[in-house]
Amino acid sequence: MAKEIHLQTPLKDEDLEKLNIGDKVLITGTVYTARDAAHKRLVDLIEAGKELPFDIKGQIIYFVGPAPARPGMPIGSAGPTTSYRMDSYSPILLDEGLKGMIGKGPRSKEVINSMIKNKGVYFAAIGGAAVVMAQSIKAAKVIAYEDLGTEAIRELKVENLPCIVANDVYGNDLFDEGVKKYRK
């Protein structure tokens, strides 16, 4: 049965081992944003043996390109982008210590296998609820690749950012299970 779990970043293996697909998670702490162009640059740095613009160990990357902030707000609407566009990069980042990813839509078998190997988790954010997601973001600052505009890497301070566990460290897949359940 799904449960509600509060997670604090950075994530630890023992935190993730308690999670099962379908669990509602409220994340508090630091989360980084990155989409495909930023992911490519991160992987290029890793392949060149260079340092990343943030310590990736135990961290979460949210696949989002937020809208500009309104006056007095830390960020604009911040809904998830489709995750499969990051699938070719995610295993490399998981090997470097990334522990969580937030996005929408299913992940490839290669990413799921890498999550099992590295004890990583994929959280689904609710598409179409960008304003709700933004309400959990208390601060945001660009830390890398400002030239990418909305797709620059941001460091977010979040409080009770709502997500659902879509893939757990055991290889379970909420997208597959959901289809099986309703196919009966």
Residues with catalytic annotation?
39
Phi and psi at 40, nearest 5°, equal -60, -45
Contact between residue 83 and residue 145 where contact means Cβ atoms under 8 Å apart? no
Report helix, strand and coil shares of the chain as percent, to nearest 5: 30, 30, 40
Can you read off the two tokens belonging to residue 141?
A: 């600052």
Can you read off the two tokens belonging to residue 74?
A: 């830390």
